[in-house]
Chains A and B, each alone.
Chain A
Amino acid sequence: MATVEYAAALNLALREEMRRDPRVYVIGEDIVLGVPFGVTKGLAEEFGPERVLNAPISEAAIVGSALGAAMTGLRPVVDMHFADFVTCAMDEVANQIAKSRYMFGGQVDCPLVLRMPYGIGKSAGGHHSNSVEGWFINIPGLKICIPSTPRDARGLLKTAIRDPDPVMVFEHRGLYRVVGEVPDEEELIPLGSAEVKRPGSDVTVIATARMVHAALEAAELLAREGISAEVVDPRSLVPLDRETLAGSVAKTHRVVIAEEGPMRGSAGAWLAWVVMEECFDDLDGPIARVAGPNVPIPFSPPLEAACTPDSEAVAAACRQVLK
């Protein structure tokens, strides 16, 4: 086991897959230097400019060209730079990538990965802070994973690159410098495999990405109060590991769902539906949700903080469902 940063774990996954498969290439804005997050740093030195393509600031062409390449035999990994910018390639994602296999009756594979650096933090303001995974939950034809740890980031990205279908990988900006253990040997984490990040018996907290860490902090706080919280990380939203979620709820009977994006129409709202559908008879009370407010992310630090769900919010929700 080596202890590495989340960004370095993603870098490792890219290197491993590019070494393994000459069809894999990466494309995005500023990716040769690997700024601002360092995920693609050094790839150009190893794999050359033919496979590490610095693209113009031209999101529709970056994402659209990836589909053209994927349909004709390559395996592109797109760096969206900031997930917010996917709006400039929304037709390419929603109408072209998500639908091509289906609308063509299964004639073509679309093996491509969209890496989505997203999330709130460091006063990045309204155009560089959004948690947009909820937009894509609503689009059939996209697989969506959302790793919270370096180990998951590496294992899921590798699986995503080998997947024959389009996969979006949501990487929270606030996690890039988080460190964790990554196995020395190769590890592929299947899509649709949730993981219990901390076992507990009184309440299940289903959390994604940065909120997994907030939930683990909350669990520590709650432990001091004699409350045992179980933290479950779905790791991928499409496909979703319903069994692991349901298994946890069957044990605890109480559920908090924590995410960073806005409350309305979100991934957490979908998860709440799934819990209701799978576990209605197991629930001892209503599900509580922790999510961002329904406002754009503001710039000024105290305003941004007011819109950032944290461990206190998760702990408060747990206390509430246990009342």
Chain B
Amino acid sequence: MTPGPDQLLEMYAAMLRVRLFEERARELYAGGRIPGFIHLSVGQEAVAVGVCAALRRDDYLLSTHRGHGHLIAKGGSLRALMAELYGKASGCCKGKGGSMHIADASVGYLGANGVLAAGCVLAPGVGLSIQMRKTDQVVVAIFGDGAANRGPFHEGVNLAALWRAPAVFVCENNRWASTTAQAVSTAGGSIAQRAAGYGIPGVTVDGNEVLAVVEAVGEAVARARRGEGPSLVEAQTIRWLGHYEGDPQLYRGKDEVAEGRGRDPVGRLRQVLEERNLLDAAHAARIEAAVKGEIDDAVAFAEASPLPDARAAFEDLFAFYPWRD
């Protein structure tokens, strides 16, 4: 799909929203405001935004441990997301999920996941539900290059292909499975090629180029909506930061991050917009100021929100459970 001028500007704002949110989360984490551990997607914004630009609000998204950007791009509340990272009662999961388990069902975001490729087996079931309810929704499962070596990836793609499920599998390939390079963990080299084994389309795109991502995913989504079954898109990108915040990254040199910064997905979209006379410096400054304002608001909301009452730890296990264990 080819986004029009308005959507391109929205996508630019969304990319900036992800970038600035992640950078702010990084500062807050370093400052001890966010407990636990967090995985940030700085440098990978074109995947989140390109995928979600191809989706409707009522489409479903199954995400990964590095999922803040996916939720933001899907339209989730920044306030609820930031409050969840803080572990506050006003968080999207009432403080029970945290960074790795964020969810916002109101925008079809069915969860980040602490287990690699876990979403890949949920996807055919979401697809089955779409088929049985006879809607024209689509489900996207995002997973990383490391997850492509887990069984659920293969089982999920196989079942989705058998069922011709309205599903799109997007591999967000950032070259690293935690601290292990793709080259030494992934036989065959290409993840997109694995699609051939299941008889579905598989394409590789530049995951730092949001227009390439939205075009490939858009085509896969359109195919899925037409009832023609799943596809696999491998979006190759570069992780600017560590696997987790605090990762000393002893396993890679600085040249890779330099390469990533040289192919900055936010800067590249801005360049496209400027070339098409859709954005000038003043307009860009206004967008950036607005996005910063949203993030400031989310941080203020998270800071001001109360921590959960300890009793909340014993709620939400079941919908209906009047008994004592």
Tell me the B86-144 residues at the A interface (CB within 8 Å). 91-97, 101, 103-105, 110-111, 113-115, 118, 120-130, 132-133, 139
Q: Choose, from B65-73, B230-238, B314-322, the stretch at the interface.
A: B314-322
Partner of B319, one of A23, A73, A109, A240: A109
Tell me the A135-174 residues at the B interface (CB within 8 Å). 140-141, 143, 163-165
Write the chain B residue with the least CB distance to A99: B101
Partner of A74, one of B60, B91, B129: B129
Task: Render A212-245 as a binary contact track against B, CB cut-off 8 A, 1 for contact.
Answer: 0000000000000000000000000011111000
Contact call A107/B318, Cβ cutoff below 8 A = no
The answer, yes or no, to whether A108 is at the interface (CB within 8 Å) is yes
The answer, yes or no, to whether B159 is at the interface (CB within 8 Å) is yes
Contact call A68/B124, Cβ cutoff below 8 A = yes
Smallest CB separation, A322 vs chain B (Å): 30
Partner of A69, one of B113, B115, B128: B128
The answer, yes or no, to whether B267 is at the interface (CB within 8 Å) is no
Write the chain A residue with the least CB distance to B110: A71
Say whether, besides A61-B159, A104-B97, A143 and B129 are in contact (CB < 8 Å): no
The answer, yes or no, to whether B276 is at the interface (CB within 8 Å) is no
Contact call A65/B121, Cβ cutoff below 8 A = yes
Say whether, besides A60-B152, A91-B115, A103-B93, A96 and B319 are in contact (CB < 8 Å): no
Contact call B125/A65, Cβ cutoff below 8 A = yes
List of B residues within 8 angstroms of A95 by Cβ: 114-115, 118
Contact call B124/A56, Cβ cutoff below 8 A = no
List of B residues within 8 angstroms of A100 by Cβ: 111
Contact call B96/A102, Cβ cutoff below 8 A = yes
Say whether, besides A101-B316, A239-B323, A72 and B155 are in contact (CB < 8 Å): no
List of A residues within 8 angstroms of B324 by Cβ: 239, 242
Task: Render B53-77 as a binary contact track against A, CB cut-off 8 A, 1 for contact.
Answer: 0000000101000000000000000
Task: Render A65-101 as a binary contact track against B, CB cut-off 8 A, 1 for contact.
Answer: 1111111111010000000000000011001100011
Partner of A105, one of B91, B151, B323: B91
List of B residues within 8 angstroms of A96 by Cβ: 113, 115, 118, 122
Say whether, besides A56-B162, A104-B97, A165 and B318 are in contact (CB < 8 Å): yes
Smallest CB separation, A101 vs chain B (Å): 6
Write the chain A residue with the least CB distance to B93: A105
The answer, yes or no, to whether A192 is at the interface (CB within 8 Å) is yes
The answer, yes or no, to whether A320 is at the interface (CB within 8 Å) is no
List of B residues within 8 angstroms of A69 by Cβ: 125-126, 128-129, 132
Cα separation A56 to B156 with both chains bound (whole Å): 11
Cα separation A100 to B111 with both chains bound (whole Å): 8
Write the chain A residue with the least CB distance to B152: A60
Contact call A104/B103, Cβ cutoff below 8 A = yes
The answer, yes or no, to whether A6 is at the interface (CB within 8 Å) is no
List of B residues within 8 angstroms of A140 by Cβ: 317
Contact call B323/A65, Cβ cutoff below 8 A = no
Contact call B132/A239, Cβ cutoff below 8 A = no
Contact call A103/B96, Cβ cutoff below 8 A = yes
Smallest CB separation, B292 vs chain A (Å): 28
The answer, yes or no, to whether B255 is at the interface (CB within 8 Å) is no
Cα separation A69 to B113 with both chains bound (whole Å): 17
The answer, yes or no, to whether B325 is at the interface (CB within 8 Å) is yes
Contact call A68/B123, Cβ cutoff below 8 A = yes
Contact call B122/A65, Cβ cutoff below 8 A = yes
Cα separation A100 to B124 with both chains bound (whole Å): 17
The answer, yes or no, to whether B158 is at the interface (CB within 8 Å) is yes
Contact call B151/A60, Cβ cutoff below 8 A = yes
Task: Render A29-67 as a binary contact track against B, CB cut-off 8 A, 1 for contact.
Answer: 000000000000000000000100101101011111111
Contact call A65/B124, Cβ cutoff below 8 A = yes
Cα separation A25 to B163 with both chains bound (whole Å): 15
Write the chain B residue with the least CB distance to A239: B323
Cα separation A67 to B118 with both chains bound (whole Å): 11
Contact call A71/B318, Cβ cutoff below 8 A = no
Partner of B105, one of A25, A103, A104: A104
List of B residues within 8 angstroms of A56 by Cβ: 158-159, 162
List of B residues within 8 angstroms of A74 by Cβ: 125, 128-129, 132-133
Contact call A105/B317, Cβ cutoff below 8 A = no
List of B residues within 8 angstroms of A105 by Cβ: 91-97, 103, 316
List of B residues within 8 angstroms of A241 by Cβ: 323
6 contacts between A and B (CB under 8 A): A72-B125, A91-B152, A92-B121, A103-B97, A106-B94, A109-B319
Taking A55-B159, A72-B130 as given, write out 11 further A-B residue pairs in contact, using a Cβ cutoff of 8 Å, ordered by the A residue number: A68-B128, A96-B113, A101-B317, A103-B103, A105-B91, A105-B96, A105-B316, A106-B94, A107-B93, A108-B110, A239-B321
Q: Which 7 A-B pairs have the closest CB atoms?
A: A64-B121, A68-B125, A65-B125, A68-B122, A105-B94, A239-B323, A61-B155
